[in-house]
């Protein structure tokens, strides 16, 4: 299998995990945000493999590639997915008494499901399709 298809296969595993988590979306918004981002990571890598024959060396390298003009629409949804996953994983401050001390205080589980997954991730997938091979387009499990 090509690198493109390997990344699509991993994206599909993340998609299955997302389906599982979304059944109980009120309990796992942080993990939904994180898995949604990692699905986007794998799709972006599939795009790079097919479109540029490139493999990213980490998050910053991937983000830099997405700053290329041809990927403008991908960048616009990828960065918010990355930001959400970072805040989901690192914002935890229940002792200071501030208004927003956890990810789910900032984004309700409904917003994570409807805005992050059903809007951002879905749009990211749709915008990636023109950069994938026909076989990968068919293989990808879409939101």
Binding site for other proteins (CB under 8 A): 59-60, 63-64, 67, 69, 72, 75-76, 79-80, 83, 86-87, 90-93, 95-101, 105-107, 111, 115
CB of 42 to other proteins, least distance (A): 20
Cα-Cα-Cα-Cα torsion 38, 112, 88, 57, nearest 10 degrees, comes to 20
Nearest distance from residue 30's CB to other proteins, in Å? 14
**Between 95 and 134, whose beta carbon lies closer to other proteins?**
95
Q: Report d(CA 53, CA 17) in Å as an integer.
A: 28
Decide: residue 102, CB within 10 A, 0-12 exposed, 13-18 middle, 19+ buried. Answer: middle
Contact 142, 125 (CB under 8 A): yes
Question: Cβ of residue 95: shortest distance to other proteins, in angstroms?
Answer: 8
Tokens read off for 11: 């994206």
Nearer to other proteins, 8 or 66 (CB): 66
Minimum CB distance to other proteins smaller for 69 or for 134? 69
């Amino acid at each position: 299998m090509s690198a493109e298809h390997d990344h699509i296969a991993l994206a599909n595993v993340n998609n299955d995990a997302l389906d599982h988590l979304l059944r109980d979306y009120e309990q796992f918004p942080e993990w939904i945000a994180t898995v949604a981002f990692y699905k986007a990571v794998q799709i972006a890598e599939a795009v790079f493999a097919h479109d540029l024959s490139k493999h990213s060396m980490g998050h910053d390298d991937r983000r830099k590639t997405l700053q290329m003009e041809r990927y403008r629409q991908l960048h616009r949804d990828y960065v918010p997915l990355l930001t959400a996953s970072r805040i989901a994983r690192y914002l935890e401050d229940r002792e200071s008494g501030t208004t927003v001390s956890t990810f789910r205080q900032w984004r309700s589980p409904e917003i994570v499901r409807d805005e992050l997954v059903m809007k951002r991730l879905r749009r990211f997938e749709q915008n990636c399709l023109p950069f994938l091979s026909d076989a990968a387009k068919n293989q990808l499990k879409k939101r």
